[in-house]
Amino acid sequence: MAESTGAESSGDVTRLLGEISAGRQDALDQLLPLVYRELRRLAARYMQQERAGHTLQPTALVHEAYLRLTNQDRANWRNRAQFMGVAGQLMRRILVDHARKHCAAKRGGSLVTLDESAAKQLADVSRPEEILAVHLTLERLERLDPQQGKLVELRYFAGLSAEETAEAMGLSVRSVEREWTTAKAWLRAQLAGEEA
């Protein structure tokens, strides 16, 4: 099962990434499902480990997906940047889907625990709500500033570091830090619901 993305698809992913770099849009359409599947799988696994108390490198997930899908090391920065861009977008989708389901289930009241202390122990009580809220607010921001949208996807949804985000976006680390501070401040202000 772990090897479901074998040599064939790693070749595919590398080729597709190359084609995307060459500007072929249909290559992206082919790539997305491959990456999406892998990310979903990894995300689920990582989150389970998270629960079990393992400390994770925040970026480990997307890295691992990249390495698994392409069999390439970090040297091929161009493909890597392409890949990270796609991964950020897909991670956002995965997490938002998950959060939606979670919130729907809560609203549907499929199972409640009327135990306060138990509820407090659940670290992620607000997490899915946060993800959904960030996603919706970000939709407003990216209409004004697509670059900000991409950046938040990479930093927040994919969990890349500033350096990796810089590499993926072709920006300086300093720019990434500045843009991230801005995006974060704006999003938080919106989420806090303060009157403009």
> Which of residues 89, 98, 149, 165 is near other proteins by CB under 8 A?
98
Q: Residue 9: CA atoms inside 13 Å, Cβ hemisphere, count? A: 18
Contacts to other proteins from residues 104-123, by CB under 8 A: 105, 109-115, 117-118, 121-123
156 binds other proteins (CB under 8 A): yes
**Smallest gap, in angstroms, from Cβ of residue 139 to other proteins?**
13
149 binds other proteins (CB under 8 A): no
186 binds other proteins (CB under 8 A): yes
45 binds other proteins (CB under 8 A): yes
Q: Which two tokens stand for residue 13?
A: 């992913």
> Between the CA of residue 9 and those of 67, 82, 137, what are the distances in Å?
12, 17, 35
152-179 exposure pattern, b = at least 16 Cβ within 10 A, e = fewer: bbbbbbbbbebebbbbbbebeeebbbeb
54 binds other proteins (CB under 8 A): no
Contacts to other proteins from residues 12-31, by CB under 8 A: none
DSSP 8-state code for residue 161: -
Helix, coil or strand: residue 2: coil
**Smallest gap, in angstroms, from Cβ of residue 154 to other proteins?**
10
Of 84, 85, 4, give the one whose Cα is nearest residue 38. 4
Angle in degrees, 0-180, between the axes of helices 77-108 and 60-70, rounded to the nearest 10 = 120
> Which of residues 159, 164, 169, 176 is near other proteins by CB under 8 A?
159
Q: Which residues bind other proteins (CB under 8 A)?
A: 1, 41, 43-48, 50-52, 56, 58, 61, 91-92, 95, 98, 105, 109-115, 117-118, 121-124, 127-128, 130-131, 133-134, 141, 144-145, 152, 155-159, 178, 181-182, 184-189, 191-192, 194, 196
